[in-house]
Amino acid sequence: MYRDLGYYWLRFAIYIALCLCIGTIFYHIGHSYGSIQARGSMLMFVAAFLTFMAIGGFPSFVEDMKIFQRERLNGHYGVGAYVIGNTLTFIPYLSIISIIPGALAYYLVDLQKGFDHFVYFALVLFVCMTLVESLMMIVASIVPDFLMGIITGAGIQGVMMLNGGFFRLPNDLPKPFWKYPVYYISFHKYAFEGFYKNEFEGLTFPSNQDGGGPITGDEILRSVWQVEMGYSNTTKIR
């Protein structure tokens, strides 16, 4: 796939351009009360819209599936070998896409200090893109037409994004169907929680009320973003 200029290298260039846009729009975001919402919006864009671009690779998956079907019928290899080989192929490029554009956005915005926080940020981004690549591969095996497949993949991601806990907070989601089970199926829920905990835990922000004391990151996670606090971001890595 490294020879596919449109899928990996053009996508890499667009990721750099988008992360430069993010970095300059949210440049040195600071620690004011208003930065709470801005940090959440920036992290939501990274988790949702950067991973959404993976649907652009659907035509490549369709062509790969055609080759795989012929070679499987000829007895050259099976499904397991194809999945493992394809995964190992795109891991290096997804790593590059996660680290370089991710570093531009992370350090221009001036998110939480510490190299370990950046590593976790890049790791969550990498896992999200790997998941979307896998989702589009599943769609390609079911919907062979590339136009219908792109529409299907975009629709699935749109539903997941809408129920991830940003556009509608978890406690406000209608419980039948949208919260149980769609909210817990959506990978954006776990991406948002990982990004938010990685960013807000350990920080303090001034209150927006006169005479109010500082607001801790844990309070923001519980009250503003309604994040489940049963485990930390480091526990997730382990």
Q: How far apart are CA 177 and CA 147, in angstroms?
A: 28
- Give the per-residue pLDDT at 131: 92
Q: How far apart are CA 115 and CA 207, in angstroms?
A: 28
Q: Which of 165, 152, 145, 162 lies closest to 228, judged by CA?
A: 165
- Give the per-residue pLDDT at 232: 60
pLDDT in tens, 115-157: 999 999 999 999 999 999 889 888 888 887 878 888 999 999 9
- Give the per-residue pLDDT at 234: 52
pLDDT in tens, 56-70: 777 777 888 888 888
**Contacts by 15-20, CB closer than 8 A, 24 or more apart:** 15/50, 15/53, 15/97, 15/101, 16/100, 16/101, 16/104, 18/49, 18/50, 18/101, 19/50, 19/101, 19/102, 19/104, 19/105, 19/108, 20/104, 20/108
What dihedral angle (degrees, nearest 10) is formed by the CA atoms of 226, 50, 237, 193?
A: 0
For CA atoms 81, 83, 84, 87, give the dihedral sign: positive
CB-based contact 124:45 (threshold 8 Å): no
CB-based contact 205:112 (threshold 8 Å): no
Q: How far apart are CA 185 and CA 106, in angstroms?
A: 27
Given a cut of 70, the residues of the chain with pLDDT beneath it are: 1-7, 231-238
- Give the per-residue pLDDT at 238: 38
- Give the per-residue pLDDT at 61: 79
Tokens of 211: 């005479």
Tokens of 116: 């370990």
Q: Could you give the 3-state DSSP secondary structure of residue 20?
A: helix
Preceding omega of 181 cis (within 30 degrees of 0): yes
Q: How far apart are CA 99 and CA 101, in angstroms?
A: 6
